[in-house]
């Protein structure tokens, strides 16, 4: 694509350059630049992409997009915000792939991964080829790819969407993080349906206040329905039981469709009944009342199922087959996942790493635990410090035995993180074991028949990051081994 044609996508944003080279690729990393690339300088947190412009030109870049003029011998196009411009250019360079896909974006503090997997399952069962982008992986049809972020930066995102178009994917479901919305990673992406799960405390290291965090997530809805490409109606699927939904509903030009349990909604679950093997409820919808029996456990799972049904319904899929699909789902890796080595007590691994999700999951455990509840929990380093005492308090309030341990301390001193947690539980009983493997072993050794051990925070993760080192670590494997060894003793 010629440089001028590419720059047209920026409208009046960019200033013009007379030279019009053929652009072979768009890159923001000088190490990926090839002959004919357009190099985009993005200011990071730790690194400034402008510092790599010279090297990018040496590597073959024929034009550079930057936030200031640079002393280099190729055209420099100056814009105010290269991150946002990059998103628009990426969309144009890859020929607007999101316009060719049925796009469902899911945002919210908790439940994005679970809901996106449910949505993907519903569309796959409906015979569609699906794509998925999220925390666990990117999936194109049956192929999966590793990811660095929940929502990739725009160049990777648009390239992935283009791959999906080329591979004849029809519906793409993706998690949209608040970081991505603030950074403009999804700028220019044309969603048909945007789903909101809930808003509770997380990521305050980044967004500073709940108000800012709320605004960030709201960007998905305020952008929805405002695009020029309004060939199809756009829908905002909102959780009627979360007060934030009303604000998002006011800010969007899309058609709202609500779901809930406690408040009246377009899609409402009534008479929710839980057992150790699943949850049932009466689904009240514009199509009547249907009994639904899911294999997932907990009230929060009902919300995720409702959100997924809502997204599929507004997309035009028939309710009867949507219900059949969600009833088949056994669970999502690392979300309320049991570890069974034939022991007489239950061990559950769950990705709960926010105060709200920890409380929800412990409340669910309480409904089944016959005796004691052990919770093994930690808080991540280099992330929101304010949630540490809150999570410790919830652990002590809802479990009989709270064991505080490490969960990706990253560059922070693990002991300091535990001290922050202890601030929330002065005078309470708890055990502190910094080494996560030892903490899990301790819980397994203490548990008796009928008890439940919840190992919270890492879920599907298969690593532990301490300092700059990343060690293999899987809660499920460690717990399984510990149970086996206990049985052999």
Ligand X SMILES: CC(=O)N[C@H]1[C@@H](OP(=O)(O)OP(=O)(O)OC[C@H]2O[C@@H](n3ccc(=O)[nH]c3=O)[C@H](O)[C@@H]2O)O[C@H](CO)[C@@H](O)[C@@H]1O[C@H](C)C(=O)N[C@@H](C)C(=O)N[C@H](CCC(=O)O)C(=O)O
Which residue of 191, 303, 404, 480 would you call a contact of ligand ATP, by CB under 6 A?
303
- In the chain the first and final C-alpha atoms are separated, in Å, by 68
When asked if residue 113 is in the footprint of ligand ATP (CB under 6 A), the reply is yes
111 annotated ligand-binding residue: yes
Residues 169-208: x/- map of binding to ligand X (CB under 6 A)? --------x-xx----------------------------
What whole-number distance in Å separates Cα of residue 165 and Cα of residue 57?
31
259 touches ligand ATP by CB under 6 A: no
In the list ligand ATP, ligand X, none, the entry touching 231 (Cβ below 5 to 8 angstroms by class) is none
CA distance 270 to 3: 57
Q: How does DSSP assign 269-297, residue by residue? A: EEEEEEETTEEEEEEEETTEEEEEEES--
> In the complex with ligand X, which residue's Cβ is closer, 240 or 361?
361
Tell me the closest approach of the beta carbon of residue 412 to ligand X, in angstroms. 15
Residue 461 touching ligand ATP (CB under 6 A): no
The CB-of-413 to ligand X minimum distance in angstroms stands at 20
How many residues bind ligand ATP (CB under 6 A)? The answer is 22
Coil, helix or strand for 453?
strand
Provide, rounded to whole angstroms, the least separation between the CB of residue 42 and ligand ATP. 23
Strand partners of residue 103: 172
Cα–Cα distances (Å) from 70 to 42, 80, 133, 317, 394, in that order, read 14, 14, 36, 52, 52
Q: Is the dihedral of CA 24, 26, 29, 32 positive or negative?
A: negative
Which residue, among 161, 315, 116, 319, has the nearest Cα to 235 in the 3D structure? 315
Piece of the chain touching ligand ATP by CB under 6 A; list 262-270, 300-308, 417-425, 427-435: 300-308
- CA dist 456 and 436 (Å) reads 11
Q: What is the DSSP letter of 332?
A: -
Pick from 442, 452, 484, 435: which is nearest to 369 by CA?
452
Neighbours of 209 (CB within 10 A): 9
Identity of the residue, 222 or 357, whose beta carbon is nearer to ligand ATP in the bound complex: 357
CA distances from 257 to 196, 234, 264, 265, 288 (A): 11, 10, 12, 8, 16
**From the list ligand X, ligand ATP, none, which binds 468 (C-beta under 5 to 8 Å, kind-based)?**
none
Is residue 42 a contact partner of residue 90, using CB atoms and an 8 Å limit? no
* Interface with ligand X in residues 121-160 (CB under 6 A): 148-151, 153
Backbone angles phi, psi at 48, to 5 degrees: -110, 115
Q: Residue 114 interacts with ligand ATP (CB under 6 A)?
A: yes
> With respect to ligand X, which residue has the nearer C-beta, 26 or 402?
26
Applying the rule CB under 6 A, the residues between 116 and 155 that interact with ligand ATP are 135, 150
- Site map (CB under 6 A) of ligand X, residues 18-47, x = contact: ----------xxxx----------x-xxxx
8 CB burial (10 A radius; 0-12, 13-18, 19+): exposed
**Residue showing tokens 């890492």:** 458
- CB nearest ligand X: which residue? 44
The window from 85-93, 278-286, 350-358, 381-389 that contacts ligand ATP (CB under 6 A) reads 350-358
Among 110, 156, 171, 315, binds ligand ATP (CB under 6 A): 110
- Give the residue carrying structure tokens 């052990």: 374
- 42 token code pair: 């993005």
Nearer to ligand X, 147 or 284 (CB): 147
The one among 39, 213, 351, 404 contacting ligand ATP by CB under 6 A: 351
Both tokens assigned to 82 = 């290269």
Q: Which of residues 171-190 bind ligand ATP (CB under 6 A)?
A: 175
408 touches ligand ATP (CB under 6 A)? no
Whole-Å CA distances, 389 to 100, 104, 386, 453? 46, 35, 7, 21
Of 96, 154, 198, 244, the residue at the interface with ligand ATP (CB under 6 A) is 198
Yes or no: say if 307 and 296 are a contact pair by the CB < 8 Å rule.
no
Q: Which is nearer to ligand X, 31 or 330 (CB)?
A: 31
Return the one option of ligand X, ligand ATP, none that residue 149 interacts with (CB less than 5 to 8 A, by type): ligand X
Q: Could you list the residues that contact ligand ATP (CB under 6 A)?
A: 110-114, 135, 150, 175, 197-198, 300, 303-304, 335, 350-352, 356-357, 360-361, 459
Q: Could you list the residues that contact ligand X (CB under 6 A)?
A: 28-31, 42, 44-47, 49, 52, 148-151, 153, 177, 179-180
Residues marked as binding? 108-114, 149-151, 177, 185, 383, 407-410, 457, 461
């Amino acid at each position: 694509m010629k440089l001028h044609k590419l720059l047209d996508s920026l409208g009046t944003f960019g200033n013009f350059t007379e030279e019009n080279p053929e652009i072979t690729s768009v890159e923001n990393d000088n190490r990926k630049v090839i002959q004919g690339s357009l190099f985009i300088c993005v200011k990071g947190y730790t690194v400034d992409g402008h510092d790599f412009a010279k090297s990018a030109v040496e590597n073959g870049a024929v034009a550079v997009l930057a936030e200031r003029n640079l002393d280099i011998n190729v055209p420099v196009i100056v814009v105010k915000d290269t991150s946002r411009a990059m998103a628009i250019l990426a969309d144009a360079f890859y020929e607007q792939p999101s316009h060719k896909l049925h796009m469902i974006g899911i945002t919210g503090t908790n439940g994005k991964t679970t809901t996106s997997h449910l949505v993907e399952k519903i569309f796959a069962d409906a015979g569609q080829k699906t794509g998925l982008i999220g925390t666990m992986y990117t999936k194109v049809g049956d192929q999966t790819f590793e990811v660095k972020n929940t929502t990739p930066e725009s160049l990777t995102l648009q390239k992935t969407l283009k791959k999906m178009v080329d591979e004849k994917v029809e519906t793409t479901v993706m998690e949209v993080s608040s970081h991505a919305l603030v950074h403009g990673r999804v700028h220019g992406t044309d969603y048909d349906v945007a789903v909101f799960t809930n808003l509770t405390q997380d990521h305050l290291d980044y967004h500073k206040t709940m108000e800012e965090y709320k605004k960030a997530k709201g960007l998905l809805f305020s952008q929805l329905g405002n695009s020029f490409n309004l060939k199809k109606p756009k829908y905002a699927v909102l959780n009627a039981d979360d007060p934030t939904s009303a604000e998002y509903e006011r800010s969007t030009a899309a058609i709202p469709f609500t779901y809930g349990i406690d408040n009246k909604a377009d899609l409402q679950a009534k008479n929710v009944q839980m057992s150790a093997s699943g949850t049932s409820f009466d689904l009240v919808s514009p199509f009547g009342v249907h009994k639904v029996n899911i294999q997932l456990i907990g009230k929060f799972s009902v919300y995720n199922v409702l959100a997924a049904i809502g997204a599929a319904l507004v997309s035009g899929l028939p309710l009867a087959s949507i219900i059949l699909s969600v009833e088949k789902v056994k669970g999502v890796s690392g979300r309320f996942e049991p570890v069974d080595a034939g022991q007489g007590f239950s061990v559950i691994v769950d990705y709960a790493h926010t105060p709200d999700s920890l409380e929800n999951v412990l409340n669910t455990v309480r409904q089944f635990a016959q005796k004691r509840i052990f919770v093994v929990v930690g808080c991540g380093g280099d992330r929101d410090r304010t949630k540490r005492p809150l999570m410790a308090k919830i652990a002590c309030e809802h479990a009989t035995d709270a064991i505080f341990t490490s969960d990706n301390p990253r560059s922070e001193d693990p002991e300091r993180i535990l001290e922050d947690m202890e601030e929330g539980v002065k005078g309470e009983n708890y055990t502190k074991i910094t080494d996560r493997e030892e903490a899990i072993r301790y819980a397994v050794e203490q548990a008796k028949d009928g008890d439940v051990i919840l190992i919270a925070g890492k879920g599907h993760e298969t690593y532990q990051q301490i300092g700059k080192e990343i060690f293999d670590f899987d809660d499920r494997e460690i717990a399984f081994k510990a149970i086996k060894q206990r049985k052999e003793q």
